[in-house]
Amino acid sequence: MREELAAQPIPADGRPFGDVLAEFREKIAPYPFGNGHPRFLAWVNSPPHPAGIAADALAAAMNPSVAGGDHAAVHIEHQVVRWFADAAGFPAGSGGLLVSGGSTATLTALAVARHRAAARAGIDVRAAGLQGDARFAVYVGEEGHGSARKAVELLGLGSAWVRTVAVGGDFRMDPDHLRTLIAADRARGVHPVAVVASAGTTNTGAIDPLDEIADVCAELDVWLHVDGAYGLPALLFLDEYAHHRPGLSRVDSIAMDPHKWLYAPIDAGLVLLRDPALARDAFSLVPAYLRTDDEPWFSEFGFEQTRPFRALKIWFLLHHLGTRGYADLIRHDLAMADRLAAAVEADEDLELLARGLSVVCFRGRPAGVRLDELDAQNRRVLADVQRDAFLAGTTVNGVFGLRACVVNPGTTAADIDAVLELVRSAVRRGPAGPPA
């Protein structure tokens, strides 16, 4: 298929729509990414809810640019942002905007934090850039997502100034180590830009101790950003995670992906900002023909000028499911992850490596296999399993293992049991066993 597409020239003459649709049905639809399958457990890519699919089509039909103005799409986005800001415990007057995903949400938040840190260092970063001798640092946990480092590089801060904060045995950021790193940097004349904490790390599902980290950031006056791209919905909608909300309500910015655990079609990212005026200071560049005395445009709070109607699918889904309906779907995913983790712990040939939210990391560890052979065996196990199910490979505490992440309400107990049997069969074949 790839070769055929690469060789096909741009069409000079059109064809009937039915013919194009037939080609789609024959050559494109049979080859999806696969995240709709109930045994797709590799990455945090949920299947889209049908209501979100319908809403996306309606948004495309309306086709507004949600840069600003006084039309329905703008007001729907304001409402959706306010709903999540309220759920996170942010104060009145907070805000945010919808973006393409968690990476862009984190980039947006850190751009605002950089602007604030530079101003405090006496630098107008918008006019002068980072051309001087000032040094700026960003603090990310060992389990933090790579998008934070990428954002630091794009913002011109330099990845050499990403400080890695240690995590404990539970994979959660160590607040004491964070305090030590910031204090040491300040003593050397380095300007802290932001701390990036996680509300559900991608690799292990760990939730950092947000309240304790907020204490450190308040004490040292450093911006606190939370990457909740994957895990935030559990914190917002499930009573079981309500104890994280006091810390969440104290942060300066949050990133979340409704296209992950809220089952919205891609793309749908969200950045929440405690003080949106700081984002306007960092981004607003309004020509005279767009300037307004009314409510500022969304385009003044981020990089995009032309912006799609992302809010409609989230608005539809929240009206259709409600927070209680979402809680039920997420609990289902958690229950399936619990089933997998419990079966791993009960199996003498398997070893649980990490468990957080709906993430389960584990590996085969049968008797008689040397420790230095286990990584190679588990790589072969992964290759065998991926013929019939999709797990990811990962590294936890320096060893290679298998990673499952359940974000599909269509995944059943039978699917979990079938995946487990595939893993067990592959493990039993041994390090040098033949492929299935």
Q: Please report where in the chains the tokens 């919205």 appear, as a residue.
A: 264
- Its pTM stands at 0.94
Q: Side chain identity at 101, as an amino acid letter?
A: G
Cα 397 from Cα 302, distance rounded (Å): 37
Angle between helices 311-346 and 413-428 in degrees, nearest 10? 50
DSSP 39-94: TB-SSS-PPPPHHHHHHHHHHHHH---TTSSSSHHHHHHHHHHHHHHHHTTPPTT-
Cα 143 from Cα 148, distance rounded (Å): 11
Strand 136-141 versus strand 162-165 pairing type: parallel
Return the SS3 of 350.
Answer: strand
C-alpha distances in angstroms, 180 versus 164, 168, 187, 206? 12, 15, 11, 22
Range from 52-56, 293-297, 380-384, 395-399 carrying the lowest mean pLDDT: 293-297
pLDDT at residue 196 in the model: 98
Range from 2-6, 144-148, 291-295, 386-390 carrying the lowest mean pLDDT: 291-295
Output the furthest CA–CA distance in the chain (Å, rounded). 75
pLDDT at residue 435 in the model: 44
- Per-residue confidence at 291, pLDDT binned at 50, 70, 90? low
Cα 244 from Cα 134, distance rounded (Å): 35
The mean of the pLDDT values for the chain is 94
pLDDT at residue 290 in the model: 67
